[in-house]
């Protein structure tokens, strides 16, 4: 039976009647032909796009703005800037998408496994016949989920070693410049300044930041890195100590100091840092990575500098103790010196033995000089006797005779050595003559060489017409080889087999 096609102008009316509660529509969508559908063969035909568009309008009209609670899974950050993930509970799963412009404004960055409440509108994606929620805002699903997220982030940062005690730096005893990172309008900066003024006035540099809200984490991290990047001798002095401070508040109010960007900036700081966020019972992640944690901003100021009056009092006490120790030591040494002086002998007793030795030495000095003069006079007489003319001539004659005898011995030794070497040379020459090939030539043999001087040992090595040099016992002459080459022989004298090479198949 031919199908009746309705006028396109009436399609809008049919779309308005298309609803899941309509039995006829239900049977078409489900693909099951009920008895009602069989009895109505003139139902209109729709394209897939028309059906998908009708469903999209129905879903968007029914759920224009909803809040959905679930756990984030299959989280994907696209290079285009869009964010895709699934919201799931123990029974169902809902696709979710955050467009690029919305993702920049999110207060909470999506994380895998985080339980959140997403606010947005439900729509359908025509390309795959699925429904999804276009997220406009993401919130944590209660304090429990927030604390679970913070605990997971704490474990992950601790595994990287950011909270290790080995990397924490010691605070300077008396910093010249203190950098404070906090809000300029709150009571925190006034408490810190008042406490520093009371304890030990120091120069303070304030870096104003927001301590709550969306931009707080970025500004605090930028302030920490900015103080560390300041040159040592620049127009603005580089702080010797940093204080990151904020007043008390709820967990949500202190979330900026739990952000990973702030924790990593504090860990990278080369300047010692004190964390003074919240009251004594408040704990944030920056407290674990800071070099020192203060329960309150006022306590941070007390950690930063000592009390000036206490230092003065301690200095005066040290001066008094040093003076007393010096005077006591001087008195003890004076007493000790007096005790030593009492046990020392008198001066006449000290100088009597040396004076007596001097007297003995003066008495022996005259006799020693006379004896020394006699010894030198005797030695001079012996030397003058040796220098007489007759004695010198006899010594010269004796030396000349000795030199002549030594010369004769040298000549005889040289002649004997030359005769011995000549006899050895003649013996070696006779042995060389015995093994020389010229004796063989004397017996009638000849030596055959080629023009290149190569020795010809076999007739098989000669070729017809080759020029040869034949050496006899007396002289050498040239010759030419005539006749076909003979078969090469082995060293044993038997003919050598010639193996023909295999021909080329190509």
> Average per-residue pLDDT in the chain?
82
Residue 354 has pLDDT above 90, yes or no: no
Name which of 435, 434, 449, 442 is nearest 481 in CA terms.
449
Judge whether residue 23 has pLDDT over 80: no
Least confident of 155-169, 246-260, 288-302, 386-400: 386-400
Structure tokens at 487: 């078969």
Other C-beta atoms within 10 Å of 240: how many? 18
Paired with 124 in beta bridges are 131
Between CA 445 and CA 427 the distance in angstroms is 26
Q: What is the mean pLDDT of residues 346-358?
A: 83
Instruction: Tell me how far apart the alpha carbons of residues 269 and 273 are, in angstroms, rounded to a whole number.
Output: 8
Answer yes or no: pTM beyond 0.85: no
- Enumerate the β-bridge partners of residue 205: 179
End-to-end CA distance of the chain: 80
Question: Which pLDDT band, with edges at 50, 70 and 90, does 496 fall under?
Answer: low
* Per-residue pLDDT at 266: 93
Please report the pLDDT score of residue 46 as a whole number: 83
pLDDT of residue 220: 94
In sequence order, what DSSP letters do the residues of 147-193 get, joined into one string? HHHHHHHHHHHHHTTTT-GGGPPPPPSS-SEEEEEE-SSSHHHHHHH
The most confident of the ranges 141-145, 157-161, 476-480 is 157-161
Give the CA radius of gyration of the chain: 59
**For 363-420, what is each residue's pLDDT tens digit?**
888 888 889 999 998 888 887 777 776 767 777 888 889 999 999 999 999 999 999 9
pLDDT score recorded for residue 65: 87
- Residue-level pLDDT at 32: 39
Tokens of 409: 């011995």
Give the residue-averaged pLDDT of 39-45. Answer: 69
Q: How far is CA 482 from CA 19, 456, 465, 468, 487, in A?
A: 122, 15, 6, 11, 15
pLDDT digits (tens, 9 = 90+) for 211-262: 988 889 999 999 999 999 999 888 889 999 999 999 887 777 888 898 999 9
**Is the dihedral angle over the CA atoms 60, 65, 67, 70 positive or is it negative?**
positive
Enclosing H/E stretch for 250? none
């Amino acid at each position: 039976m031919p199908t009746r096609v309705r006028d396109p102008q009436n399609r809008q009316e049919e779309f308005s009647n298309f609803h899941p509660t309509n039995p006829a529509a239900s049977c078409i969508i489900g693909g099951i032909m009920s008895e009602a559908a069989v009895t109505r063969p003139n139902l209109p035909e729709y394209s897939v796009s028309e059906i998908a568009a009708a469903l999209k309008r129905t879903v968007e009209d029914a759920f224009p703005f909803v809040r959905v609670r679930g756990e984030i899974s299959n989280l994907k950050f696209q290079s285009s800037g869009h964010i895709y993930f699934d919201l799931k509970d123990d029974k169902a799963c809902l696709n979710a998408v955050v467009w690029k412009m919305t993702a920049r404004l999110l207060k909470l960055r999506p994380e895998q496994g985080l339980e959140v409440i997403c606010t947005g509108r439900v729509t359908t994606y025509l390309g795959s016949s699925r429904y999804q929620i276009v997220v406009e805002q993401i919130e944590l699903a209660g304090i429990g989920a927030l604390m679970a997220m913070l605990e997971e982030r704490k474990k992950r940062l601790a595994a990287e070693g950011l909270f290790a005690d080995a990397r924490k730096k010691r605070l300077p005893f008396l910093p010249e410049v203190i950098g404070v990172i906090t809000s300029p309008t709150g009571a925190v900066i006034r408490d810190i300044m008042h406490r520093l003024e009371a304890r030990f006035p120091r120069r303070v540099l304030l870096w104003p930041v927001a301590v709550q809200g969306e931009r707080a984490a970025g500004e605090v991290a930028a302030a920490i890195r900015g103080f560390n990047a300041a040159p040592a001798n620049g127009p603005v002095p580089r702080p010797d100590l940093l204080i990151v401070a904020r007043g008390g508040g709820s967990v949500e109010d202190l979330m900026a100091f739990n952000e990973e960007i702030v924790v990593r900036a504090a860990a990278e700081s080369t300047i010692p840092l004190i964390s003074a966020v919240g009251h004594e019972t408040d704990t944030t992640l920056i407290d674990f990575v800071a070099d020192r944690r203060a329960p309150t901003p006022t306590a941070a100021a007390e950690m930063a500098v000592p009390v000036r009056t206490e230092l003065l009092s301690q200095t005066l006490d040290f001066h008094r103790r040093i003076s007393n120790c010096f005077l006591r030591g001087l008195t003890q040494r004076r007493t000790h010196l007096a005790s030593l002086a009492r046990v020392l002998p008198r001066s006449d007793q000290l100088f009597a033995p040396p004076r007596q030795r001097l007297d003995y030495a003066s008495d022996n000095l005259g006799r020693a000089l006379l004896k020394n003069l006699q010894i030198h006079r005797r030695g001079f007489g012996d030397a003058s006797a040796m220098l007489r003319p007759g004695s010198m001539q006899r010594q010269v004659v004796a030396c000349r005779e000795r030199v002549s005898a030594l010369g004769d011995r040298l000549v005889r030794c040289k002649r004997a050595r030359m005769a011995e070497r000549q006899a050895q040379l003649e013996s070696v020459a006779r042995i060389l003559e015995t093994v020389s090939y010229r004796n063989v030539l004397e017996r009638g043999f000849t030596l055959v060489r080629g023009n290149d001087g190569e020795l010809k040992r076999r007739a098989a090595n000669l070729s017809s017409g080759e020029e040869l040099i034949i050496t006899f016992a007396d002289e050498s002459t040239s010759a030419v080889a005539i006749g076909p080459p003979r078969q090469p022989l082995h060293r044993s004298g038997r003919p050598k087999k010639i193996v023909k090479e295999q021909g080329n198949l190509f």
